[in-house]
Structure 1
């Protein structure tokens, strides 16, 4: 329950990333200019000098000519976002990229700021949340009733246990399926599941050239290091002077000027080639991923040589892209954000009401699992759904196997543990 509440709260904050980021950037936008802005290469040079030893990693095309230029420079895996005045070249603000508020929320949500181990805990919590939702629907599904009260709407005038039961059950009926979709669409970010997914795609020959979603802080750091190494080779120093045929300041200005005419969905970034690559990349970072496109730029001529739109990707990448856009509330704009927020509020209400019901029903001096009241008919559909989840999320399958083994071989054979957990006896202990 604490994991579900934590993921719901942090996810609810991240849903409104565009609005929050606009508030953060407001003091640096719509600046009063008296003259034409400096060329991009001069602004890049100012950003690099603000962070000694750093080189250009990304240049963010401004939404307006009067906005401060956001230039990401870095050294190794360490990146800093520098806000530069477009007319004077003065540094208005600089912040370590991974310390930005929304990046912290992102890593709190996906990794608990604990790297791979945190990602594993989140993946386990998400998987078991699906089990709780499925089994909750199975237990509550009305079998012999014609009343809608307490099934599709709560009896708000009732008090005590009935009120909390209705709040829990009715909320679960309405939000469970949407919550499952929300949870599944977030799995591509999980380190363990993402590695499993990539392995399956490699074996089936469906892997894409580059993945458009993060696999955790470790993978991101490796990608930033590759970009830094490639950028240093391309820029040949910190002052953008050409050396050995590398790109010149004039060529960078030309590429940025052409990037602004490509019609990519904002925000748009220009970045040097990563290690092992040749061309500069202009890429849309639109929150709604189906709107994203990327264009390769030849540094020798400053011209675009190839474009890849979302529709050009493999159908698996497109499916994941749609899922992530829905997960982040970006696919349908504000309506998507508000609907996701409603589902998250429902998950919090499910968690709170379950704790209240547990406190009211728990037997004295026990963990609180209520005594079984007869055997419910087995559901083939429920069993198949759990087995499908085992195959889809191997980490969950491993944890489920561990739980079954410990319960059957240890807990049910230990009388005190069996009573504390309200477990049934095994055939061996019954004899």
Structure 2
């Protein structure tokens, strides 16, 4: 090919961006694919873990909900009720989430005898750990930033890969199906390109639908919504563990303040008077017949004049419903179904439901699992391709052309992505500044990285 011919965008330039993005992203892609595949089956795994408490021997009518909560609170000294989970069957243990500050414990209580069957730190439940491994690498806010950065660069990697795959003549072999008998480099190249084609749309959706959880992009979205709506925005998802812990502590403090007020009226100095959970019996009688999607959680007031609340916390988010309830009478004060939420909340809700494999049952789980396996195959094949062509003394980046064709379209896309994904935009600027201010003075490093070596 004549290097002086202008191609738009430049194939070689895109190939280099694809290569560098892949070097950074592949370890994270593998990590997210594995942890995400495990989390897909959260309902089945949690049902298996809770099996010992699913079919209990219950002779006679159950105890009151208030008594069940009182037993759970006694089992964790210093705690108060955070949420009461409606049992789905009469023989199932009642699960009560109690807490002290930002710490929460899930207590399994026998519905009739009030025996405490198990106590589990809410943050140490296996699927909660997997969730944090997937979204934050168990590293809190820094981990969330790193995962978001990797996801942003993976979007660049996929889009640049689609450009490289785009058919430029010839048959369908190596385009929509791999030539498995070709052997050698062609086999791995076909496997890589064809797999990327088939999983790219699903992978892009998974990456984009996960962004609202990220600390940076989720905060970015919240800020834009707050400005647009002119008021603080309440979202049905958290942007990082720190926000979740802050919300827990605030709710706990509000509940304790309410209970302290009641205690003073009663002329007692108890941390939680015995009658403070009495409204729960009326509320259970109101909420249970509604048939809300499980799990259904009932929570006490968290401020003066605040109502009790009940919500469906279904993994299939479009099935969720929020209620406010009057503790004195048990009547419903307000009901808000998913369809009544703002458009942004509904779009994110559908996206999260698909992301977690819960929107359309096992088929959704299998579709996401196939996408994750495809990303693993894509990553492995790319490493094989790189290792086979890599010279022994350099990184092995695609060569930079002396007369580099214009990549105007690709760089315009990068700028657009940098605006949509601020963390990506910031790292793009950082990379360019590093090359201009640092690497230009290190010719050996530029040679090893495959960057053009500038004449002295």
TM-score (norm 1): 0.93
**Equivalent in the alignment of 2:5:** none
The count of corresponding residues between Structure 1 and Structure 2 is 426
Q: Which has the higher contact order (CA 8 A, sep 6+)?
A: 2
**Equivalent in the alignment of 2:202:** 178
**1:202-221 → structure 2 map (5 Å cutoff):** 202-205=226-229, 209-221=233-245
- CA 112–398 in structure 1, closer or farther in 2 if over 3 Å, else same: same
> Does residue 334 of the first structure (1) align with residue 334 of the second (2)?
no
> Does residue 69 of the first structure (1) align with residue 97 of the second (2)?
no
> Quick check: 1:28–1:67 contact (8 Å CA) kept in 2?
yes
**CA deviation string 1:192-232 (max 9, x = no partner):** 11111111111111767521012111101111111111222
**CA deviation string 1:15-38 (max 9, x = no partner):** 111111111111101212111111
- CA 38–12 in structure 1, closer or farther in 2 if over 3 Å, else same: same
- DSSP-derived class of the 1:295 partner: strand
Offset of 1:376 from its aligned partner? 7.9
- DSSP-derived class of the 2:112 partner: coil
5+ residue gaps, structure 1, are none
Q: 1:390 aligns with which of 418, 424, 430?
A: 418
> Does residue 134 of the first structure (1) align with residue 163 of the second (2)?
no
More divergent stretch after superposition (214-223 vs 156-165): 156-165
- DSSP-derived class of the 2:59 partner: coil
Q: 1:104 aligns with which of 121, 126, 129?
A: 129
- CA 123–307 in structure 1, closer or farther in 2 if over 3 Å, else same: same
Q: 1:42 aligns with which of 59, 67, 76?
A: 67
Distance 2:104 2:431 in 1: 42
**1:20-99 → structure 2 map (5 Å cutoff):** 20-99=45-124
> Quick check: 2:148–2:211 contact (8 Å CA) kept in 1?
yes
**Equivalent in the alignment of 2:278:** 250
Offset of 1:247 from its aligned partner? 6.7
> Does residue 286 of the first structure (1) align with residue 311 of the second (2)?
no
**Equivalent in the alignment of 1:163:** 187
5+ residue gaps, structure 2, are 1-25
**Equivalent in the alignment of 2:14:** none
- DSSP-derived class of the 1:74 partner: strand
> Quick check: 1:40–1:252 contact (8 Å CA) kept in 2?
yes
Distance 2:88 2:231 in 1: 34
Offset of 1:276 from its aligned partner? 6.3
Distance 1:299 1:180 in 2: 46
Distance 2:304 2:220 in 1: 25
Offset of 1:338 from its aligned partner? 0.6
**Equivalent in the alignment of 2:325:** 297
- CA 264–242 in structure 1, closer or farther in 2 if over 3 Å, else same: farther
Offset of 1:263 from its aligned partner? 2.7
Distance 2:231 2:345 in 1: 9
- DSSP-derived class of the 1:186 partner: helix
- CA 49–237 in structure 1, closer or farther in 2 if over 3 Å, else same: farther
Distance 2:331 2:50 in 1: 31
**Equivalent in the alignment of 1:6:** 31
TM-score (norm 2): 0.89
**Equivalent in the alignment of 1:153:** 177
**1:348-387 → structure 2 map (5 Å cutoff):** 348-372=376-400, 378=406, 381-387=409-415
Offset of 1:321 from its aligned partner? 0.8
Distance 1:410 1:259 in 2: 64
**CA deviation string 1:225-277 (max 9, x = no partner):** 111112223344999x9779997443221112211122321110001123466
